[in-house]
Structure 1
Amino acid sequence: MTLPNFLIIGAPKAGTTSLYDHMREHPQIFMSDPKEARFLAYQGQGGDRKRWPIQSLEEYEALFAPVTTETAIGEATPHYLIYPHVAGRIHELLPEAKLIASLRNPIDRSYSVYQMNRRNQGTNTGVAYAEALRSDHNLRETYADKLERYFALFPKERIRILLLEDLEGRPEAVMRGLFEFLGVDTDFKPDLSKISNPGGEPRIKLLHDLLANPGLREFGRKILPRGAIERLKDLRSSNLRKQPMSSADRKAALDVFREDILATQALIGRDLSHWLR
């Protein structure tokens, strides 16, 4: 039976897709396909396979059956950080696993989730960000309370916390550090030239809806060569444009996240004062 020995546990919209893509290039690292197994967040309720693609331990094991000589075996489900029961499930099934969490300024992450919901699901359409922030708890997700669940169960040396700004600003150093953390060749250099799964709002909504359709994406993943899939991803990304956040929205979000930023700073031992500006 082969199971992962490391997990990328989150956070959503904080660079986990880029981490996944960079890691899967390494010859000593095996990453599950699909990226988000979500199994350890699944509670046995059955239902939607699009939301819960892996619903049994046997199905979870099957994701890692293709492992050959790889020594670091992982998957990346960013919502593992969010669901309160997941830390305990990971500790029960994978007590020796190494854990990687990527954090992003929660204000920027919240705004990115808001934009993602508008473009992909139609939620918050016609609703200003400040209003959505008050009514949608998904836009107010915090870090400190969620990380504390993991620190209570796993030794700190098996938890690696990184910041998205570091991954974007000095990606070679970050990836080298992660390779060292996973015990694989630190001299390997993945392609760091592009950002995976960028945010923003679509220039052409119809094109985005077509390229983002879950059914079509799954069908294409099964029949198209990897190169063609990557070109479609590039097309989808190029159709997105960044929408800047207003100073009023940023101030409203800072009021929501200030206490969590300070608590996270104390928990991880990293100066996050720049998030408070």
Structure 2
Amino acid sequence: MKEMSNINLANFIIAGTEKAGTTSIFTYLSTHPSVCGSVIKETDFFRNLFSGDYEKDTTKYASYFERCSSDVSIIMEASPGYLGNGAEVAVRIQRLVPDTKLLFILRNPIDRMYSSFNFHVGKLNLDPDLSFEEYVDKCIAYDSGQRTSVELDIEEWYLKIISFGRYADYLKYYYQLFPDKQIKIMFFENLNQDIAGFMVELCQFLEISSDYFHEYDFQRINATYESRLKWLHKIAVYFNAKSERFLRQRPELKQFIVGLYKKINQAREGYDEISDASRERLKQYYLPSIESLQTLIGKKDIPWNI
């Protein structure tokens, strides 16, 4: 066993949110010479594996960063589920790595929920015959306490996705435990508009050189798409999960494989527009939380037009 003083732990965590570009940012940063990423992107350590035993947790968490050398200044992981579980996770992160920097990439919560729905249908986590309108009905029924996940026949995590868009409800736990200088709030919409500018700002936060990204080929990572053959996609999802530890350390190989698979089985990238009725319904749901977010983070330029 390594001496505790020689163990690597994350000093930068991309902690949220789902379907807001976290995979892309993790991939871009992983290639930077001053950065080392975890062997799998989403360790979910502070959600699923944290025990409260300092020595045991330190050893287990460090196993995700064993390949990181002393030459890098940033050791990172990216588990977007940390935001939605902020009440429990913020305390755990603060106990084990109190000096870590935290990034939360936020997205228009309506677009994020719709993207998440289509993503999880594509990943076979949700029934492909379930319409988005039916899904919203089920999420609201669960969120209001009217129905249980068993009654709705959907795993609890996917029913909570609607509430995870109430960002201020979860960010507040991080602001209570970490100084503002360790928390960075950025926006998916700004990432889409100016990837290079987004990365320069992030590098400033991390105190690493942004020169590396001046001529960088930014490719979109983890885009949602519709498959032609569902049986083949099911097999691909299985092998992708099983091979992540190997492929995460070889991003160029993974991109080649993904590109080849899309040529074979992608029907189209993206999905249909959300209906006006669903957008209006979710707008009324999220408006109070957006006001709370503006108060919490002190920003008046949140780039969402809902």
Structure 1 portions without partners, runs of 5+: 46-54
Q: CA deviation at 1:234?
A: 2.5
Whether 1:41 aligns to 2:70 is: no
In structure 2, what is the Cα distance between the partners aligned to 1:8 and 1:159? 10
So what's the TM-score if we normalise by structure 2?
Answer: 0.79
Q: What are the equivalent positions in structure 2 for 1:184-195 lying under 5 Å apart?
A: 184-189=208-213, 191-195=216-220
Q: CA deviation at 1:126?
A: 2.4
Whether 1:100 aligns to 2:100 is: no
Q: Quick one: which amino acid aligns to residue 212 of structure 1?
A: V
Q: CA deviation at 1:265?
A: 2.2
In structure 1, what is the Cα distance between the partners aligned to 2:229 and 2:134? 26
In structure 1, what is the Cα distance between the partners aligned to 2:40 and 2:61? 11
Q: Give the corresponding residue for 1:246.
A: 275
Q: CA deviation at 1:129?
A: 1.4
- Where do 4+ consecutive residues of structure 1 move more than 6 Å? none
Cα RMSD of the aligned pairs, angstroms, is 2.4
The number of residues matched between the two structures is: 267
Q: Give the corresponding residue for 2:290.
A: 261
Query: Equivalent of 2:224, from 185, 199, 202?
Result: 199
Q: Quick one: which amino acid aligns to residue 17 of structure 2?
A: A
In structure 1, what is the Cα distance between the partners aligned to 2:303 and 2:296? 16
| SS in structure 2 at match of 1:30 | strand
In structure 2, what is the Cα distance between the partners aligned to 1:174 and 1:220? 26
Q: Give the corresponding residue for 1:121.
A: 124
Call closer, same or farther: CA 1:82–1:273 in 2, change over 3 Å: closer
In structure 1, what is the Cα distance between the partners aligned to 2:43 and 2:77? 7
Q: Give the corresponding residue for 1:65.
A: 66
Q: CA deviation at 1:181?
A: 0.8
Q: What are the equivalent positions in structure 2 for 1:45-194 lying under 5 Å apart?
A: 57-68=58-69, 69-83=71-85, 84-136=87-139, 137-140=159-162, 141=164, 142-189=166-213, 191-194=216-219
Q: CA deviation at 1:25?
A: 1.2
| Percent of matched pairs sharing the same residue | 29
Q: CA deviation at 1:216?
A: 5.1
Call closer, same or farther: CA 1:134–1:57 in 2, change over 3 Å: farther
| SS in structure 2 at match of 1:257 | helix
Q: Quick one: which amino acid aligns to residue 155 of structure 1?
A: P
Moved more, 226-235 or 249-258: 226-235
Deviations 1:185-221 (A, max 9, x none): 12221734321111243344334323222x4542475
Q: Quick one: which amino acid aligns to residue 242 of structure 1?
A: G
Call closer, same or farther: CA 1:197–1:6 in 2, change over 3 Å: same
Q: Give the corresponding residue for 2:33.
A: 27
- 8 Å contact from structure 1 (residues 211, 232) kept in 2: no
In structure 2, what is the Cα distance between the partners aligned to 1:229 and 1:241? 18
Moved more, 195-204 or 224-233: 224-233
In structure 2, what is the Cα distance between the partners aligned to 1:132 and 1:228? 36
Q: CA deviation at 1:273?
A: 6.5
Moved more, 178-187 or 102-111: 178-187
- 8 Å contact from structure 1 (residues 144, 260) kept in 2: yes
- 8 Å contact from structure 1 (residues 118, 125) kept in 2: yes
In structure 2, what is the Cα distance between the partners aligned to 1:41 and 1:262? 28
| SS in structure 1 at match of 2:98 | coil
Q: CA deviation at 1:184?
A: 0.9
- Higher-Rg member (1/2): 2
So what's the TM-score if we normalise by structure 1?
Answer: 0.87
